[in-house]
Structure 1
Amino acid sequence: MYDIDDLEVGMFASYSQTISEADIKSFAGISGDRNPVHLDSEYAEKSMFKKRIAHGMISSSFFSALFGTKLPGEGCVYVSQSLKFRKPVYIDDTVVATVMVERIEKEKRRVYFNTYCKVGKQKVITGQAEIYIPEKK
């Protein structure tokens, strides 16, 4: 874990994962989101997407993985996250999530991040996050 004094504007971390059929089914079960655009091929073919899409929150959850394990690391606490879903993610797409330090408020122990997910060169999700970093004991 990084202490707040170790962080600098511009630091970043990334995580990638290919979205599978199993991921979508598991997420539907965990979240209760059984929207047929995620689960039913016939339904999805008639949608604006023309085929099934992954839940947007699957990809956005990769930010949490990054914050808790890489930057700043274990013990940090999510305060807020904004999200804009710009493009769909499909089964077998590889999503690369990135978090980058934008601003640090040492006195409040808050770090602000630019967050985004890409599939190929296209940003599919953009947003901002605020993270609290507790004092080391």
Structure 2
Amino acid sequence: MKGLTMKEINIGDKDFFQKTVTETDVYLYAGVTGDLNPAHINQEVSEKTMFKGRIAHGMLTAGFVSAVLGTKLPGPGTIYLGQEMKFTAPVRFGDTIKAEIEVIEKLEEKNILKLSTVCTNQNGDVVLKGVATVMPPK
């Protein structure tokens, strides 16, 4: 299975991945990465934070962008070179996050794409925004 090549991609092409974040997702991410920050895994401690309860790891949300890039646009074989991003709102357990990407620039001579990356929750609130740099498969 191979993703789209530079020639098959146009500026303005879009795709997305959507998932509801569960407590299990957060605990698995914490275990795999070793990020056991109480803001994510300790209800009592997290209630004393500005978020007033547990939130998902920002990088878990960023992983949804990676899912779009690696499985849909450009797809399998894509090399993720970089990501500029800003976390703009917390992701809470039970939120349904939609990670959307859009091709905004093609550097054909270098086989590099720049894509707008935006994650929103079920209310349409932006929780992450940025720009990804990738190499599509040849």
> TM-score surpassing 0.5?
yes
After TM superposition, list the pairs within 5 Å mapping 1:1-137 onto structure 2. Answer: 1-119=3-121, 120-135=123-138
Distance, in Å, in 1 between the alignment partners of 2:80 and 2:109 is: 17
TM-score, length basis structure 1? 0.96
Kindly state the Cα deviation for residue 133 of structure 1 after the two structures are TM-superposed. 2.1
RMSD (CA atoms): 0.7
What amino acid sits opposite 2:93 in the alignment?
I
Query: C-alpha deviations, 1:58-103, integer Å up to 9, x for none?
Result: 1110111111110001111011101100000000000000110000
Percent identity of the aligned residues?
A: 38
How many aligned positions are there? 135
Distance, in Å, in 2 between the alignment partners of 1:87 and 1:63 is: 16
TM-score, length basis structure 2? 0.95
SS in 1 for 2:66: helix
Distance, in Å, in 2 between the alignment partners of 1:35 and 1:134 is: 37
SS in 2 for 1:67: helix
Gaps of 5+ in 1: none
What amino acid sits opposite 2:33 in the alignment?
S
Gaps of 5+ in 2: none
SS in 2 for 1:88: coil
SS in 2 for 1:107: helix
Distance, in Å, in 1 between the alignment partners of 2:18 and 2:137 is: 27
CA contact (8 A) 2:41 2:54 kept: yes
Kindly state the Cα deviation for residue 12 of structure 1 after the two structures are TM-superposed. 0.6
CA contact (8 A) 2:84 2:131 kept: yes
